[in-house]
């Protein structure tokens, strides 16, 4: 049951960090018209998407030293899924705000398609592999 607790705790922490980053992007993006805040947001998001699942994997390894790479990957993958779900949930808000900042009207808004969701799961799997590898090296 310890791995489920790790997914919940680190997933919530990562989701809160990501929501705060999105809020900062919305505030800074409306003040500045350039691509600077978006580039910084992308870089920090990548760090969060690797560091928080890696911390969950390291925590799992420290609490259960006999843990294998497979369970570390599943925990990191679960945490990455929770964090990415927050990104997907806030996507319409960010798109509307960006369109309003450019003076445009958002037509239909972004729609979730099976291809988008499948691509998101694939990206989360890659992030889980990288994070579990980082956790294995660090832990």
Q: 3-state secondary structure string, 18-63?
A: HHHHHHHHHHHHHHCCCCHHHHHHHHHHHHHHHHHHHHHHHHHHHH
Q: How many domains does the chain have?
A: 1
Position 92 scores a pLDDT of 76
Q: Which helix (H) or strand (E) holds 89?
A: helix 69-101
| Predicted local confidence at residue 133, as pLDDT | 92
Cα(98)–Cα(90) distance, integer angstroms: 12
Structural domain for 53, as ranges: 2-138
Low-confidence ranges of the chain (pLDDT < 70): 1, 29-37, 98-99, 101-104, 106-110
Query: For residues 126 and 95, what is the distance between their CA atoms, to the nearest angstrom?
Result: 26
Q: What pLDDT score was predicted for residue 126?
A: 95
Give the pLDDT score at 66: 85
What is the pTM (predicted TM-score) of this model? 0.83
């Amino acid at each position: 049951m310890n791995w489920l607790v790790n997914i919940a705790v680190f997933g919530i922490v990562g989701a809160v960090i990501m929501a705060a980053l999105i809020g900062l992007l919305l505030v800074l993006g409306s003040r500045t018209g350039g691509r600077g805040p978006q580039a910084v947001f992308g870089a920090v998001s990548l760090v969060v998407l690797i560091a928080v699942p890696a911390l969950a994997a390291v925590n799992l390894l420290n609490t259960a030293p006999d843990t294998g790479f497979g369970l570390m990957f599943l925990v990191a993958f679960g945490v990455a899924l929770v964090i990415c779900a927050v990104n997907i949930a806030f996507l319409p808000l960010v798109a509307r705000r960006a369109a309003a900042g450019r003076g445009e009207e958002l037509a239909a808004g972004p729609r979730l398609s099976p291809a988008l969701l499948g691509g998101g799961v694939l990206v989360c799997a890659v992030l889980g592999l990288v994070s579990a590898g980082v956790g294995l090296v660090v832990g």
